[in-house]
Amino acid sequence: MTKILIVRLGALGDIIHALPAATAIREALPDAMLGWMVEERWSELLTARGEKQSPLATSPQKPIVNLVHTVDTVRWRKNFFRGATVKEIAGDLGRLRQTHYDLALDFQGNMKSALLATLSRARATAGFRNPRERGARWFYNHTFSRLGEHVIEQNLSLAGEALRRWLGERRLEKAAPVLPCDPAAKSWACNEINRLGIASFAVMNPGAGWGGKQWPPERFGEVARALAVHNVKTLVNTGPGEEALARSVVESSSGHATRITCSLGQLIALLRRARLLIGGDTGPLHLAAALGIPVVGIYGPTDPARTGPLGSQAIALRHPESETTFSHHATPDEGLLQITTEEVISAARYLLGTPRD
């Protein structure tokens, strides 16, 4: 049996961009043992909470991978010299090594992920020839060039080249990502929708990984007011520490937006019921796109050609003034600010009128 370990620790959007490659591997090698090393906080992208009927079998609750190896590298770094932490790391690595993986495939490409791929003691490790952090390539037995413009295409090509030995003449075909179905989260979403008394709703995600990607919250509120004309309520999703941002959207919406607080699994269940998501280049935008939900992406310093939502139900807005950069500026990109509420409202109205596939 072929045993393949995927290493993509985080974050939300990056894991979503790796899922199509993992789904393609599962379809091409249905009998393979497929594992994934991921930060604990993102594990619900791979497996629903709770006990499964079989620890190794795939199911609607764990549709792609057989094994999920969770790590918590932030906590490990903070408590590295404590005996309990050392014991935990040793135990996690020991369980990882028990699978005896044939290949560790590092989609992340930094020193941390490359080191963990090596510590898995897989027979071979593979990654990009030009990884995110240059030193990572020295941990790989095999390196491959990036093929394709979008990161999803690049991940698919890396997997196809690294797995050539097992694929033979077969090719990895782009596949829609499959996400877990959590019955408990589905029940929560239904109850929350009933509690709020909303029949038709959009989700807004005003937060961003850094300030340069953040469209003003007052504009999100204005868009929420426009959606209300079409009897579409707005739920505002924000992460920890973004409470003030959510309040700004709600206050500027004239009562047409409501903040929600939920787990990742609950967000997946809620998005499955949403008519639309509006947000910047952040994880929830890519999550909604992966679920087949229409999305309006508001882009500034990042290029939608590389990280934009894919599909006919996705519109990525970007002003010509924006320049691609990975420098994490605290202030919003000037080009991003050139995107008007009218443009976003127009895109949202178009998608709301487009039937789903």
Name the pTM for this structure: 0.94
Per the prediction, the chain carries an average pLDDT of: 94
Residue of 76, 329, 113, 89 whose CA lies nearest to 212: 329
Q: Which residues contact 320 (CB under 8 A, 6 or more apart)?
A: 335
Please tell me whether residues 219 and 298 are part of one structural domain: yes
pLDDT digits over 202-244, tens only?
999 999 888 889 999 999 999 999 999 999 999 999 988 899 9
Q: Which of 10, 11, 36, 40 is nearest to 21 (CA)?
A: 36
What is the per-residue pLDDT for 356? 52
C-beta of residue 288 within 8 angstroms of C-beta of residue 277: yes
Q: Tell me the residue type at 338.
A: Q
What's the pLDDT tens digit per position in 266-293? 999 999 999 999 999 999 999 999 999 9
Residues 77, 193 within the same domain: no
Domain at 311, CATH number: 3.40.50.2000
In a domain, 346, yes or no: yes
Domain range for 142 is 3-167
Tokens, residue 232: 């579409």
Instruction: Name the domain boundary from 113, 134, 167.
Output: 167
Q: Is residue 288 part of a domain?
A: yes
Residue 59 carries which DSSP code?
Answer: B
